[in-house]
Amino acid sequence: MQPKRPTTVSVSRKYEGNRISLRVDTARFDDGPAFDREIVEHPGSVVLVPITDDGKVLLIRQYRQAAEKFLLEASAGTREAGESPEVTAHRELQEEVGYKAGKLIPIGGSWVAPGYSTEYSYMYIATDLEEALLPSDDGEDIVVEEVDFEDLNRLIADGELEDQMSIAALLSAQYVYTQHIKS
């Protein structure tokens, strides 16, 4: 049996920004009382797991204002208007990690926070890397770190990797790489 789907009664736009917007949907189940859902509208993103020829994963470390700390993450970025996920992935890999990918392998995707956001993140493994740096975005100061695949589970369990989007991509990449690419 499927759960019920509410009917949207009205939509109220509250904020229009450069990267995100906020709306409030008023909805109801059948003849029940109306309720509000605050929705962050996001154009979508990509998250990348670049893997070197010797099997190292390239992660990035940067300060995250919302978390108020430095985070170790997989490279990721927001899709520009009309941009395909693949184009975003290639651009972000160059901006954040400084490489072009000879191969970009899609490994699925995930909703970042479906309880309040429309952001869907496409996940990729990037291999056959070649140095090709693009200027980073304003407000970014990124350090690239090499990590062994064998260390990913420990980094997650120890809380050194805390970003859910990165964790999902890294675990998916670890499975795909060890089961289908490396062998």
- Residue pair 143/61 in contact (Cβ under 8 Å)? The answer is yes
pLDDT at 128: 97
Of the listed ranges 99-103, 135-139, 153-157, the one predicted with least confidence: 135-139
Query: CA separation (Å) from 54 to 15, 58, 92, 146?
Result: 46, 11, 22, 11
pTM of this prediction?
0.92
The yes-or-no verdict on residue 20 having pLDDT over 90 is: yes
Ordered domains of the chain (ranges, CATH): 7-41 (no CATH), 45-181 (3.90.79.10)
DSSP 32: S
* 92-131: pLDDT as tens digits: 999 999 999 999 999 999 999 999 999 999 999 999 999 9
- Residue pair 109/76 in contact (Cβ under 8 Å)? The answer is no
More confident residue, 17 or 134: 17
Strand order in the sheet with 7-16: 7-16, 21-28, 35-41
- Residue pair 125/105 in contact (Cβ under 8 Å)? The answer is yes
pLDDT at 43: 97
